[in-house]
């Protein structure tokens, strides 16, 4: 039986929405194929027509969940090209917003994972708590999603004492809630059993297929740009790289919950050690002819921007490699030998958005060539039914 999944045209979580075509034998996936290009808007070309400052707002709109990541990655690179050094306070505020963004992105992902595993109250819980961090971000930047905090040579908004206190209070609430989620994992054998063993990606395969971010870290690879190639403030901040050895969706969940705790720690450190001074320096209009590669650890993995300047007000080339693109080959590997019913969960594990949950899946019978169209909702129902029949994996434990 052959399998065809058009997750493409309306796929909002990824910069490049994709279509997956699967080859299945019975219920087991044997091969998967990718098709790209539905959400292609031509942003890299557009960037060549805009000046350095305008491009900050363009790259911010590459993705709505990690908007600050793209803007920061771009700004880091352009600052190197222009040879300007942002003041310490500006950098602290910039990376504070980065970490808060990671918190909102991971909470969002946890909700999606819960939803796909059939644990909808978990989804509602995490999204309710996500509003706490959204409020903090709105207070800092004035907008819930596109923060527009970055500017060339620093940030655009300063923090005052009242705001710092409010953020610290918010972090206390978030930390309590995250500890609660960690406990849920330990006390809900069905949740752990549903996630354990799904979407296996061995360490060797993860390295060979260049997986990045939490997907790689869940396979036991200690790779984090914040540690390996510390930008600006990360060499001063104490934090650990979170990894898991289980190589499955459970590991990816645990890594993200642990990363939440690390992010709270980083945020608190940045707030308590916020240096005094300016938040930005004036940036020149033009950059000398040069090229730069900028790396940044986005919530989903390593984000790379390649920028080339030719001495004018505009970049000559801007190339963006988003972390999701790096995780596609690994996703195909994870899907292989999995079950049709696990597709939503495996696919969610590389961190696409909730909106991709309601797609159509086309099942093609290879022998008869007959096609049936199944909605993603039905697929989830199928997953629930299959899981209800299968014995709970009693040996699966929540790794403390």
Partner 1 sequence: MLNRLVRWARKKSPWILHLNSGACNACDIEVVAALTPRFDVERLGVLLKATPRHADVIVATGPVTRQIKDRIIRIYEQTPDPKFVVAVGACAMSGCVYRGAYNSLGGLDQVIPVTAYVPGCPARPDAILDGIVKLLGTL
Residues that bind partner 1 (CB under 8 A): 9-13, 37-43, 45-46, 49, 57-58, 61-65, 67, 108, 111, 123-124, 127-128, 130-131, 134, 144-146, 353-355, 358, 375-377
Min dist. Cβ of residue 200 to partner 1 (A): 28
If the CB atoms of residues 67 and 303 are measured against partner 1, the closer one turns out to be 67
Min dist. Cβ of residue 303 to partner 1 (A): 15
Of 113, 16, 12, 112, the C-alpha closest to 65 is 12
**Using CA atoms, how far apart are residues 340 and 175, in angstroms rounded to an integer?**
36
Of 283, 268, 354, the C-alpha closest to 86 is 283
If the CB atoms of residues 127 and 387 are measured against partner 1, the closer one turns out to be 127
Min dist. Cβ of residue 82 to partner 1 (A): 22
| Residue 396: φ, ψ to 5° | -75, 125
The residue assigned the tokens 């918010």 is: 170
- In terms of Cβ atoms closer than 10 Å to its own Cβ (0-12, 13-18, 19+), residue 63 is buried
150-151/154-155 β-pairing:
antiparallel
If the CB atoms of residues 132 and 364 are measured against partner 1, the closer one turns out to be 132
The residue assigned the tokens 């969610």 is: 348
Min dist. Cβ of residue 207 to partner 1 (A): 29
CB atoms within 10 A of CB 141: 20
- Outline where the chain has alpha helix (H): 43-47, 52-60, 67-82, 88-116, 120-141, 161-187, 189-195, 203-208, 213-217, 225-228, 249-272, 323-335, 343-349, 376-389
If the CB atoms of residues 42 and 238 are measured against partner 1, the closer one turns out to be 42
**Using CA atoms, how far apart are residues 376 and 378, in angstroms rounded to an integer?**
5
Min dist. Cβ of residue 394 to partner 1 (A): 33
If the CB atoms of residues 144 and 285 are measured against partner 1, the closer one turns out to be 144
Strand partners for 372: 363
If the CB atoms of residues 64 and 277 are measured against partner 1, the closer one turns out to be 64
Min dist. Cβ of residue 50 to partner 1 (A): 9
If the CB atoms of residues 12 and 329 are measured against partner 1, the closer one turns out to be 12
CB atoms within 10 A of CB 172: 11
DSSP codes, 196-249: TTSS---HHHHHHTT--HHHHHTTT----HHHHS--TTTTTS-------SS-SH
Min dist. Cβ of residue 318 to partner 1 (A): 13
If the CB atoms of residues 96 and 112 are measured against partner 1, the closer one turns out to be 112
Min dist. Cβ of residue 366 to partner 1 (A): 26
DSSP codes, 303-341: EEEEEEE-SSSSEEEEEEE-HHHHHHHHHHHHHTTSBGG
Min dist. Cβ of residue 40 to partner 1 (A): 5
If the CB atoms of residues 39 and 163 are measured against partner 1, the closer one turns out to be 39
Q: How are strands ordered across the β-sheet holding 2-5? A: 28-36, 18-25, 2-5, 360-364, 371-375
If the CB atoms of residues 124 and 208 are measured against partner 1, the closer one turns out to be 124
Min dist. Cβ of residue 219 to partner 1 (A): 26
């Amino acid at each position: 039986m052959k399998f065809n999944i058009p997750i493409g045209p309306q796929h909002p979580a990824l910069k490049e929405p994709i279509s997956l075509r699967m080859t299945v034998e019975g219920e087991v996936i044997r091969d998967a194929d990718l098709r790209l290009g539905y959400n292609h808007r031509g942003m890299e070309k557009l960037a060549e027509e805009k000046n350095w400052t305008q491009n900050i707002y363009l790259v911010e709109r590459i993705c709505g969940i990690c908007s600050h990541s793209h803007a920061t990655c771009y700004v880091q690179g352009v600052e190197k090209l222009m040879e300007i050094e942002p003041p310490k306070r500006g950098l602290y505020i910039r990376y504070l917003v980065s970490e808060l963004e990671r918190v909102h992105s991971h909470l969002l992902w946890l909700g999606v994972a819960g939803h796909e595993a059939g644990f909808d109250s978990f989804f509602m819980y995490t999204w309710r708590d996500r509003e706490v961090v959204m409020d903090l971000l709105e207070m800092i930047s004035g907008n819930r999603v596109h923060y527009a905090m970055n500017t060339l040579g620093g940030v655009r908004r300063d923090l005052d004492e009242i705001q710092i206190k409010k953020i610290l209070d918010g972090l206390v609430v978030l930390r309590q809630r995250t500890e609660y989620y960690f406990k849920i994992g330990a006390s809900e054998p069905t949740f752990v059993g549903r996630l354990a063993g799904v979407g296996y990606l061995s360490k060797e395969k993860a390295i060979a297929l260049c997986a990045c971010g939490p997907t790689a870290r869940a396979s036991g690879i200690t790779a984090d740009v914040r540690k390996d190639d510390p930008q600006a403030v990360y060499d001063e901040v104490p934090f650990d790289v979170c990894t898991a050895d289980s190589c499955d969706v459970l590991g990816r969940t645990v890594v993200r919950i642990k990363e939440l705790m690390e992010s709270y720690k980083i945020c608190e450190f940045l707030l308590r050690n916020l240096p005094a001074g300016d938040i930005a320096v004036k940036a020149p209009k033009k950059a000398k002819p040069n090229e730069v590669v900028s790396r940044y650890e986005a919530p989903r993995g390593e984000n790379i921007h390649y920028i080339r300047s030719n001495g004018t007000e505009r970049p000559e080339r801007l190339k963006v490699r988003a972390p999701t693109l790096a995780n596609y080959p690994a996703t195909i590997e994870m899907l292989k030998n999995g079950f049709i019913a696990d597709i939503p969960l495996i696919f969610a594990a590389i961190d696409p958005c909730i909106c991709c949950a309601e797609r159509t899946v086309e099942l093609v019978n290879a022998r008869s060539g007959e096609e049936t169209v199944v909605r993603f909702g039905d697929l989830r129902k199928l997953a629930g039914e299959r899981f209800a029949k299968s014995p709970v994996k009693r040996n699966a434990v929540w790794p403390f």
